[in-house]
Amino acid sequence: MGLGIGLVGLPNVGKSTTFNALTKAQNAESANYPFCTIEPNKAVVPVPDPRLDELARIVNPERIQYSTLDFVDIAGLVKGASKGEGLGNKFLSNIRETEVILQIVRCFEDENITHVEGSIDPVRDIEIIETELLLADMDALEKRIAALQRRAKGNDREAKAQLEVAQKLLEHLENEQPVSTFEDQENDAFKQLVRDLRFLTAKEIMYGANVNEEGLAEDNEYVQALKAYAAERNREVIKLCAKIEEEMVEFDEEEKQEMLESLGVEESGLDQIIRKGFEKLGLMSYFTAGVKEVRAWTIKQGTTAPKAAAVIHNDFEKGFIRAEVISYEDFVKYGGEAGAKEAGKMRLEGKDYIVQDGDVMHFRFNV
């Protein structure tokens, strides 16, 4: 769907190791020196969903198709990136093309892995990165203000309205506040600025606390400090050990579960990242279930039935007649489509129906 999550962080915090594990492929070079990632690595990652596995158990299809997310591993930022330091603006533009930012921060000591700042301090690392994002937004906005001022001199009413909001927003940024906390979010001029400039500090942010094995079961001092910082900003913290996640890449599900239990955790950090990233993007899944394929289809929350049908094929929307809908819970409870129908649990829904997460659907159309 073109919606992506960008992995960012300082050099040598475990981004590429996390990316390797996320994509089930060792295609992002990991090395103990800054800028080992030169071009952004992109990958499509399946979204774990036990509901799909349960549907497949009932239907016994030839194949299963999960929803997916795009992840982008972006080279390590350094202090001064907004002014071209390190690999600079190239990577800021890569972040701009994603919708959610996952900051990987190092929360463990290891004398064999150099930290670019010389010590371990996750809050400092976050503030370095977020300052660079803020400075980049200010630079983009200042350029837009200069252009709007030229247009406003010619009595361009739209330019004048946008200029007023842009100047307020710049003042907001100069006070070290991100675009996401700007008070006038519903202003049309503000929305236009966000669409045009794709502000970095307007994006949803999650923190990935990369710990060592000992840090998984119990929060160390670095994770505690990170969680306190995140709580003040209403942001998600997901704890993971990137090294162990990478080691588990080749494990089957049973071996993986045994490993997690031995480490005292219930869910893989990477599974949490994928699941929570899906939610942060405002996405959900509906299902189709047949003998050929059981499949999750990705849509935005609040999507109508015809728009949901278009994800399968545009013709489904053009000729939409109705949707046959069974909730996931009823599909499982009554052992499949036939049982749900017999129990009166299949509904016929029209063009205004808002698809719910987990709906099992079949579309009737005529083109």
Helix runs in 200-303, H state only:
214-217, 221-232, 242-247, 253-262, 269-280
Contact 360, 328 (CB under 8 A): yes
C-alpha closest to that of 85 among 40, 120, 131: 131
Q: Is 13 annotated as a binding residue?
A: yes
Rounded CA-CA distance 290/360 in Å is: 10
C-alpha closest to that of 248 among 5, 16, 12, 20: 20
Q: Is 80 annotated as a binding residue?
A: no
DSSP class of residue 81 equals: G
Rounded CA-CA distance 182/365 in Å is: 44
Rounded CA-CA distance 330/78 in Å is: 52
In this structure, what token pair is assigned to residue 271?
């599974």
C-alpha closest to that of 242 among 22, 9, 8: 22
Contact 75, 40 (CB under 8 A): yes
Q: Is 303 annotated as a binding residue?
A: no
In this structure, what token pair is assigned to residue 325?
């809908």
Amino acid making up residue 312: I
Q: Is 15 annotated as a binding residue?
A: yes
DSSP-assigned states of every residue in 157-226: HHHHHHHHHHHHHHHHHHTT--GGG-S-TT-HHHHHHHHHH--GGGSEEEEEEE--THHHHS--HHHHHH
Instruction: For strands 293-300 and 283-289, give the pairing.
Output: antiparallel
Contact 293, 282 (CB under 8 A): no
Q: Is 94 annotated as a binding residue?
A: no
Cα-trace Rg, the chain: 23
Q: Is 82 annotated as a binding residue?
A: no
The annotation places the binding site for ATP at 12-17
The annotation places the binding site at 12-17
